[in-house]
Amino acid sequence: MFSKLFNNFKKTDPKVPDFYTTDLHSHLIPGIDDGSKSMEQSIEMIKSLKNLGFKKLITTPHIMSHRFPNDRDIILNGLEELQVELQKQNIDMPIQAASEYFFDEHFIELIRKKELLTFGDNHILFELSYTTPVYGIEQTIYELLKAGYKPILAHPERYAYFAASPEKYHKIKEAGLLFQINVNSTDAFYGKKTKVAVKYLIDNGLVDFVGSDTHRPNYVEALEKSINSKIFKTIEEKNIIKNAYL
Binding site for Fe ion (CB under 5 A): 100, 213
Count CB neighbours of 130 within 10 A. Answer: 11
Q: How far is the CB of 113 from Fe ion (least distance, A)?
A: 23
List of long-range contacts for 106-112, beta carbons under 8 Å, 24+ apart: 106/63, 106/65, 107/63, 107/140, 108/140, 108/143, 110/63, 111/140, 111/143, 111/144, 111/147, 111/149, 112/143, 112/147
Question: Which pairs with CB-CB distance under 8 Å and at least 24 residues apart come from 46-49?
Answer: 46/86, 46/91, 46/93, 46/95, 47/91, 48/217, 48/220, 48/221, 49/23, 49/93, 49/212, 49/214, 49/220
Closer CB to Fe ion, residue 126 or residue 169? 126
User: How far apart are CB 154 and Fe ion at their closest, in Å?
Assistant: 6
Q: How far is the CB of 24 from Fe ion (least distance, A)?
A: 10
Rounded to the nearest whole angstrom, what is the least distance from the CB of residue 195 to Fe ion in the complex?
A: 18
Of 18 and 34, nearer to Fe ion (C-beta) is 34
As measured in angstroms, the least distance from the Cβ of 53 to Fe ion is 21
Kindly state the DSSP code that residue 74 receives in the 8-state scheme: H
3-state secondary structure 196-234: HHHHHHHHCCCCCEEECCECCHHHHHHHHHHCCCHHHHC
- Closer Cβ to Fe ion, 173 or 211, answer by number: 211
- Closest contact distance (angstroms) between CB of 229 and Fe ion is 20
The least CB distance from residue 60 to Fe ion, in Å, is 6
Contact 238, 202 (CB under 8 A): yes
Q: Which CB sits closer to Fe ion, 63 or 231?
A: 63
Q: How far is CA 88 from CA 78, 83, 212, in A?
A: 15, 9, 25
**Nearer to Fe ion (CB atom), residue 15 or residue 106:** 106
Select 155 or 242, whichever has its Cβ closest to Fe ion. Answer: 155
Q: How many CB atoms lie under 10 A from the CB of residue 89?
A: 10
Nearest residue (CB) to Fe ion, 214 versus 239? 214
